[in-house]
Amino acid sequence: MSHFSYQNGVLNAESVPLSQIAAQFGTPTYVYSKAALLENFHAYADACRGRDALVCYAMKANSNLAVLDLLVREGAGFDIVSGGELLRALAAGADPGKVIFSGVGKTVEEMKLALDKGILCFNVESIPELHRLNDVAGQMGKRAKVSLRVNPDVDAKTHPYISTGLKANKFGVAFSDALDTYRAAARLPHLEVAGIDCHIGSQLLDDAPLLEALDKLIDLIDTLAAEGIHLHHLDIGGGIGVNYGAAGDEPPVPVGEYIGRVFQRIDAWRAAKYDGKPIKVIFEPGRSIVANAGALLMSIEFLKPGEEKNFCVVDAAMNDMMRPTLYEAWMAVQPVTPREGKALCYDLVGPICESGDWLARGRELAVQPGDLLAMMTAGAYGMSMASNYNTRGRAAEVIVDGDKVHLVRRREKPEELYALETIIR
């Protein structure tokens, strides 16, 4: 169900009118629904109940401490891609033993930090990274648990910027090189080969590519076992995509159905080859947990008619929400208080000095200056990708819990944006 709905003619987050939030905290503001966030997480966690499985939230999607804290309380693990994300997860109370460290460019200092904190596993993406991690672990007198991120060369059929499982992508070890890479890892004295990982891309609405990748991982695990390299976990990567509401968009496969098919295949395989002995399964969902739990609330500054286009100028911009500019992503926009009267076709643009500063194109809206709009399904890759371009402070963030509103990140002030800079005298 949607936790953003019209009540008494006003768009609400749970039981709170967005107009009330705008009046209290200003705009632009990210508004998150606690109920939606937890409901989305439990779609994964409940489908894994009774299994040796771990749901590791991909915190790059939204790393607000309050969001992380809510997931920690529900037993989530975390998929991180930097030392900063590790420190952020730990600040929110995460168990380091439930943290997996992905990414192609881990530094020596990041490896030291992760080893010192005792994370669950490193998802290693190249032979040079194996050797660096082995050296760092040896210097610290530790053994690092590793999982190879294998690139299965499966087409996720998604946007090229978020496709990660093809030969042309920078991520992972090529499937044809995986066996030799595992052999190399097994020979290194300060590494413990623990698992296998893949992540073929984001925003998959169909689970067929994920299941195709799973079949390839299963075959590789069997080949490794025949050589005496026994893996303890299988990380299938990211979760299912979300529906952003564009015309003709297909609804994503339900999470429970997808996870059910994953375990069905794994159970049949383990029964046939390993006398039913289980293997730990890890999932790394991000977008599907937070996307539809959030909306970006904004105000209309001006309506600017033009010869070819009409522009609706709002106080949010590409620095607040990068997805349309970066991916040409379509995101639904709704008036907070719908008006009667004739709608006109507008391009929704922000005040940044770039032609690429647009949030939506060709939208039919009946609006006036001062009206509030909400960009929906904005909880993922919104605030986490925000910048201070044009010396614009990043938006405030609030979490709605029933009829209560909690400010979880205040709006940045201009003077804070240059506080770290100095002038040469």
258 is in an annotated binding site: no
239 is in an annotated binding site: yes
Q: Give Cβ neighbours of residue 156 (< 8 Å, ≥ 6 apart).
A: 163, 164, 165, 200, 201, 202, 204, 209
The residues facing 145 across adjacent strands are: 192
363 is in an annotated binding site: no
Burial grade of 417 (CB within 10 A; 0-12, 13-18, 19 or more): middle
Neighbours of 163 (CB within 10 A): 21
Half-sphere exposure of 47 (CA within 13 A, CB side): 22
Q: How far apart are the first and last CA of the chain?
A: 59
361 is in an annotated binding site: no
287 is in an annotated binding site: yes
307 is in an annotated binding site: no
* 353 a catalytic residue: yes
346 is in an annotated binding site: no
* DSSP assignment string, 186-247: HH-TTEEEEEEE---BS--S-SHHHHHHHHHHHHHHHHHHHTT---SEEEEE---------T
Q: Residue 275: left if φ>0, alpha if ψ -120 to 50, beta else—which one?
A: left
Structure tokens at 241: 């995509």
Q: Give Cβ neighbours of residue 9 (< 8 Å, ≥ 6 apart).
A: 337, 338
What span, in angstroms and rounded, lies between the C-alpha atoms of 112 and 208? 38
* DSSP assignment string, 338-405: PPPS--EEEEEE-SSSSTT-EEEEEEEE---TT-EEEESS-SSSSGGG---GGGPPPPEEEEEETTEE
Long-range contacts of 305-310 (CB under 8 A, 24+ apart): 309/345, 309/346, 309/347, 310/344, 310/345, 310/346, 310/347
* Radius of gyration in angstroms for the set of CA atoms belonging to the chain, rounded to a whole number: 23
What span, in angstroms and rounded, lies between the C-alpha atoms of 312 and 300? 7
What span, in angstroms and rounded, lies between the C-alpha atoms of 207 and 253? 7
Q: Residue 341: left if φ>0, alpha if ψ -120 to 50, beta else—which one?
A: left
Of 201, 197, 199, residue with least CA distance to 221: 197
Q: Which entry of 121, 198, 312, 353 is annotated as an active-site residue?
A: 353
Please state the separation of Cα 309 from the chain's center in Å: 34
What span, in angstroms and rounded, lies between the C-alpha atoms of 350 and 312? 8
Residue the block writes with tokens 């994920």: 210
Bind-site residues for substrate: 287, 323, 327, 354, 381
Q: Which residues are catalytic?
A: 353
Bind-site residues for pyridoxal 5'-phosphate: 239, 284-287, 381
